[in-house]
Amino acid sequence: MHLDFELERNKLVESLLRRGYISKPEVIKAMMKVPRHIFVPKDIEPYAYHDCPQQIGEGQTISAPHMVGIMVERLDLQPGQKVLEVGGGSGYHAAVVAEIVGKEGHVYSIEYVEALAKRGRENIKKAGLGDIVTIIHGDGSEGLKEHAPYDRIFVTCASPDVPPPLLEQLKDRGKLLIPAGGRRYQTLIYYEKKGKKIIRKDYGGCVFVPLRGKYGFKLF
Ligand code: SAH
């Protein structure tokens, strides 16, 4: 079967737009640009532009495109920003963010599973974003102190609550998104730091794989 990936991608992004998941021009442009099929295993390529999560190996998943769209829109990304991702996985979400922050910005992405961090790095390189995205193997529930503070932080795995180091590593006026709550079902929660104040908003239900490590779920 031969698929025209560009056409498939255009159809997916149009549907995200029509269904109201995305609306910002920079988000539309970034999702039109990043080749999602590069980020999934070969046998899943034909389904890369379906709006659903996909298996990426090691029991982990790449989030559904609409969830990536929702999170990227809400993060309110600007060119030049320094961003931290917890849960690098395939590298796809980091790639979409990288297209928006551009060469003046940077995305540091932490992945707990070494084999996935390695594959994620290869995917990012194939997408031509190796200068903007750095994937690090480690426990992202503790953040990444060496490059802190960050303009934006986002977590792509389910956490019992927001890990304190992540709020500490956020700049003043910085924004953070995290799926928090139960191991199976969570709420997407938004935090914004304003001086000593922290603004918190709930953005509705979602389902992510569990966060592991120090502030994660203790089931592993
Ligand atoms: N953003 C990814 C989706 C990854 S799914 C993408 O675009 O493909 C969530 C990922 O979080 C999994 O790969 C899982 O291994 C990773 N993860 C779980 N706990 C973690 C932790 N404490 N630190 C870093 N990564 C973690």
Average pLDDT along the chain, 220 residues, taken 10 residues at a time: 86 98 98 97 95 92 96 98 98 98 98 97 98 98 98 98 97 98 96 96 95 88
- Whole-angstrom CA distances from 60 to 2, 56, 198 are 27, 6, 31
Residue nearest to atom 14 of ligand 1 (CA): 87
State the pLDDT at residue 2.
Answer: 60
Radius of gyration of the chain (CA): 16
pTM (predicted TM-score): 0.97
State the pLDDT at residue 59.
Answer: 87
Residue nearest to atom 16 of ligand 1 (CA): 87
State the pLDDT at residue 218.
Answer: 85
State the pLDDT at residue 1.
Answer: 53
- Ligand 1 mean position, distance from CA 109 (Å): 9
- Kindly state if the Cβ of 156 falls inside 6 Å of ligand 1: yes
Angle at 165 between CA 159 and CA 166, to 5 degrees: 60
63 among known catalytic residues: yes
Whether the CA torsion 105, 108, 109, 113 is positive or negative: it is positive
